Amino acid sequence: MVKIRLKRMGARNHPVYRVVAADCRSPRDGKCIEELGTYHPSRSGQKFELNLERIDHWISCGAQPSDTVMSFIRKARKASAEAVAEEVEPDAATA
């Protein structure tokens, strides 16, 4: 089974995580099938970047996201919906 989960990278005490699609039997930092995004816990502001199109593809193929990745997906979808709403509002105000 394929899992969408975090893979730890970076230096000691300065972690950086990659969101990856990996076989559930592979180790946490082991081989992955595809990299889908990044997460920087020490950075302020936007801490993660996700390729939602590829994540949707893997979920449609049966991949199971971890709880942490699922919360990132929800936040990213909410942020993208707000960005679309902000783009629509100025157009509606000028019309």
Closest CA to 38 of 47, 29, 25: 47
Model confidence pLDDT, tens digit, residues 13-54: 999 999 999 999 999 999 999 999 999 998 776 688 999 999
CATH class of 2-94: alpha beta
Helices (H), the chain: 52-60, 67-94
Q: How many CA atoms lie within 13 Å of 77's alpha carbon, on the beta-carbon side? A: 10
> Where along the chain do its domains lie?
2-94
Indicate the average pLDDT of the chain.
89
**pTM, full prediction:** 0.81
Q: What is the pLDDT of residue 94?
A: 65
92 exposure class (CB count in 10 Å sphere: 0-12, 13-18, 19+): exposed
